[in-house]
């Protein structure tokens, strides 16, 4: 398969996936969502692949929703917003259930839906220069689809504080509340240790562990219904649409577009 938004490479037991839309700050659009599903399909079909790593080109790991794509939605905004929320939630949920270890290698800024990609994964290694933020409230939105996965990792208060403050947190602070598992200038040694350990037990154990831990959480379908409904409601607001369009067309920040 030819990828437009990703660089994909197999290295022994590791499937290396790199978000490759630096000109759009590795933002999330329909193409990126479809291609991430495709690499998870590839990982599931290949018994020798134990780990999927997610990295990115450029100084931004992922900036969340592609506002340019969102501003072109036109009519039927309710339906389009609901479908977009469902597609994103479904990808995050799949990351939590795919029977492979998904490891984010973060070096740079992560915002919005990018925090969801990181939080849904199994392990996160970040460089000291990395930051994590949820700026959705500035646009009149909430990180609806991100929060079930972020709360699962960090607990309630860190996710709540990130949502309401909209301030980015540095890698060290993110490590303290468990959004990041390890801060290191170079994640390669930790990744090698992890790969070596995974080859010592049965391939099916990762999938079994993810299923069992998933059963200990609130039902995913209930979370999906609540998250998608709220995202659709907020995205359909004329004020939110105006701010997104102003940013996509003129790079005006939300508080400048009122």
| Any domain includes 86 | yes
| Any domain includes 209 | no
User: What is the per-residue pLDDT for 258?
Assistant: 65
How many CB atoms are located within 10 Å of the residue 148 CB?
Answer: 25
Q: What is the mean pLDDT of each run of 10 residues along the chain (258 residues)?
A: 94 96 96 97 95 98 89 64 90 97 98 98 98 96 97 97 98 98 96 92 93 89 93 92 89 82
| Any domain includes 141 | yes
Residue-number span of the structural domain to which 98 is assigned: 6-186
User: What is the per-residue pLDDT for 73?
Assistant: 60
Nearest to 104 by CA among 86, 135, 127: 127
| Number of domains making up the chain | 1
| Any domain includes 214 | no
User: What is the per-residue pLDDT for 86?
Assistant: 94
How many CB atoms are located within 10 Å of the residue 184 CB?
Answer: 16
> pTM to 2 decimals?
0.94
| Any domain includes 98 | yes
| Any domain includes 17 | yes
| Any domain includes 15 | yes
Residue 27: CATH number of its domain:
3.90.226.10
User: What is the per-residue pLDDT for 76?
Assistant: 62
User: What is the per-residue pLDDT for 81?
Assistant: 78
56, 58, 63, 68: CA torsion to nearest 10 = -110
Contact 2, 37 (CB under 8 A): no
| Any domain includes 142 | yes
């Amino acid at each position: 398969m030819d990828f437009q938004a990703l660089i994909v490479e197999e290295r022994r037991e590791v499937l290396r996936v790199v978000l490759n839309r630096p000109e759009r700050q590795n933002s999330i659009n329909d193409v990126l969502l479809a291609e991430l599903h495709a690499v998870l399909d590839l990982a599931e079909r290949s018994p020798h692949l134990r780990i999927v790593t997610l990295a990115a080109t450029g100084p931004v790991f992922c900036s969340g929703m592609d506002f340019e794509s969102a501003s072109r939605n036109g009519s039927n905004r309710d339906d389009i917003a609901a479908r977009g929320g469902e597609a994103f939630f479904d990808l995050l949920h799949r990351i939590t259930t795919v029977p492979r270890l998904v490891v984010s290698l973060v070096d740079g800024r992560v915002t919005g839906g990018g925090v969801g990609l990181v939080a849904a994964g199994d392990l996160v290694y970040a460089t000291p220069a990395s930051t994590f933020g949820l700026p959705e409230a500035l646009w009149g939105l909430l990180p609806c689809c991100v929060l079930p996965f972020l709360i699962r990792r960090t607990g309630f208060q860190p996710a709540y504080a990130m949502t309401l403050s909209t301030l980015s947190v540095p890698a060290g602070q993110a490590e303290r509340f468990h959004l990041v598992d390890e801060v290191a200038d170079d994640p390669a040694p930790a990744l090698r240790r992890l790969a070596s350990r995974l080859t010592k037990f049965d391939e099916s154990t990762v999938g079994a562990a993810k299923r069992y831990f998933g059963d200990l959480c609130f039902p995913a379908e209930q979370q999906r219904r609540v998250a998608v409904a709220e995202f659709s409601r907020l995205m359909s607001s004329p004020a939110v649409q105006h701010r997104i369009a102003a940013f996509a067309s003129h790079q005006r920040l939300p508080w400048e577009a009122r």
